[in-house]
Amino acid sequence: MDDETPGVGPATTETPAPGTGETVTPGTDPAETSATGTGATGTGADGTGEGIVPPRRSFLQDYGFLILIGVFFYFLMLRPERARKRQRQEMLSALKKNDRIVTSSGILGVVTEVQKDEVTLRIDDEKNVRIRITRSAVANVLTASGENKTTP
């Protein structure tokens, strides 16, 4: 025997959606109805939409811009700095007696003695004034005409 009385159970009649000509089952939203009128919006087996998965982005889409900035930073900043540092080290290791130099404080002089970490400069020929400086205080080595031999 059937416990449900006729007309009290769930409605199964379909009515036309206003202005569209499609039929809509009562209890569903007409906006969710697809073009075929089935009402299924998702890819799940029951049409609930739980099967919809956003498209997966690749590694390059996620981190490509950061990698590009890193490469740009390397070529713009780090690589030229390494070249300048290497050039400066070569200049300091090539110091020899009678080189004309400029110190980082702007003192001009002629190298009279080179030790491991120190350089002795003659800064006045008439009075034979000499000073000792650290090798790292040498800013530039000058040529005979007074121009820079190297430009760090």
Does 28 fall in a domain? Answer: yes
15 lies in some domain: no
Answer yes or no: is 67 within a domain.
no
CB 29 within 8 A of CB 38: no
CATH number of domain containing 132: 2.30.30
Domain containing 136 equals 95-142
Give the tens place of pLDDT for each residue, 101-137.
Answer: 999 999 999 999 999 999 999 999 899 999 999 999 9
Cβ-Cβ contacts under 8 Å for 118 (sequence gap 6 or more): 132, 133, 134, 135
Report field, pTM of the whole predicted structure over 0.85: no
Per-residue pLDDT at 145: 55
Please tell me the predicted confidence (pLDDT) of residue 151: 53
- Is position 3 within any domain? no
Number of domains in the chain: 2
The answer to whether position 65 is within a domain reads no
